[in-house]
Every structure is written in C-alpha cells, then in structure tokens.
C-alpha cells in the first residue's frame, strides 16, 4: 500500500516527488505513463500539428534511488518519438529557463523539464510548459 496506494498527481507545473519505487514516487514508469498522457492531450488539442511542431526536453543533474533526471528525459523523448513527435532534447544539463526558451524559438507545442528545482536532493519533478512558454497550472 505504501508504494502503490496512491499516485503522484499533477500540481502546479507538473509532477514532483521523491525518486523511488511505486506509483507514489518519481520513477521510469511514472515518467513513461505521464508522457503518454501528455502526448494524447497534445494530440487532442493540436491535432496532427502537435507531432510536427514537436516538444523540447531538458534535465538537471539529479540522481537518486537508481533514477536520474537524464534517464527520465530520455524515456520521455522515446515516448514522444514513438508517437511521431519531433523532439529537441538538450544533450547535457540545462537550467530550467532553457526549455521554455527553446519551445518558443522552435515553435513547439509544449516542453518538459525534468527537475525538482529547490526541493530536496532525493526529489525530482516533471515540469510541463505550454506553447507560450508558461508552466501549466
């Protein structure tokens, strides 16, 4: 129950929680499922232009409990690519503002930054940005 009794929920800007096992933590499965949901939503809002416009992805340096921001970003990129989305993925650690800047420059329909910002080192997050560069609410 402790690991599977609840799910991380989207709050201000996206998901945030401790990295670890179960649906209540940030891990590969939660990132894969969340990205599948984001893909479906973007396709419902933007239609076929969602894939053409694409998404921008960035990540920070966090790593804990066998998880890392970079691996989360790579998993998210693979989900977007499997759905036919154009993907701009930074190849190294970036500051959070680089993602909204990239999506505005490239005309992307959304962006994702894997970071928990100022939260504890064992936490991570999945921040989603809309086409205008603003965090989702």
Residue 71 annotated to the active site = no
- Identify the active-site residue in 34, 49, 69, 117: 117
Q: In what order do the strands lie in the sheet with 110-114?
A: 14-18, 123-130, 110-114, 55-59, 87-89
The residues with which 11 forms a beta bridge, in sequence order, are 14
CB 126 within 8 A of CB 110: no
- Could you tell me if 126 and 119 are in contact, meaning their C-beta atoms sit under 8 angstroms apart? no
DSSP 8-state assignment for residue 84? T
123 half-sphere exposure, CB direction, 13 A CA radius: 13
Q: Hey, which residues are catalytic here?
A: 117
């Amino acid at each position: 129950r402790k690991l599977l009794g609840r799910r991380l929920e989207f709050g201000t800007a996206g998901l945030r929680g401790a990295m670890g096992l179960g649906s209540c933590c940030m891990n590969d499965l939660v990132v894969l499922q969340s990205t599948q949901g984001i893909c479906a939503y973007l396709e419902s809002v933007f239609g076929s232009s969602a894939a053409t416009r694409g998404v921008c992805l960035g990540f920070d340096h966090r790593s804990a409990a066998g998880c890392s921001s970079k691996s989360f970003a790579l998993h998210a990129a693979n989900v977007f690519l499997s759905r036919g989305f154009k993907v701009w993925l930074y190849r190294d650690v970036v500051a959070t503002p680089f993602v909204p800047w990239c999506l505005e420059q490239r005309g992307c329909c959304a962006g994702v930054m894997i970071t928990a910002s100022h939260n504890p080192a064992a936490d991570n997050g999945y921040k989603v940005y809309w086409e205008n560069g603003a965090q989702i609410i």
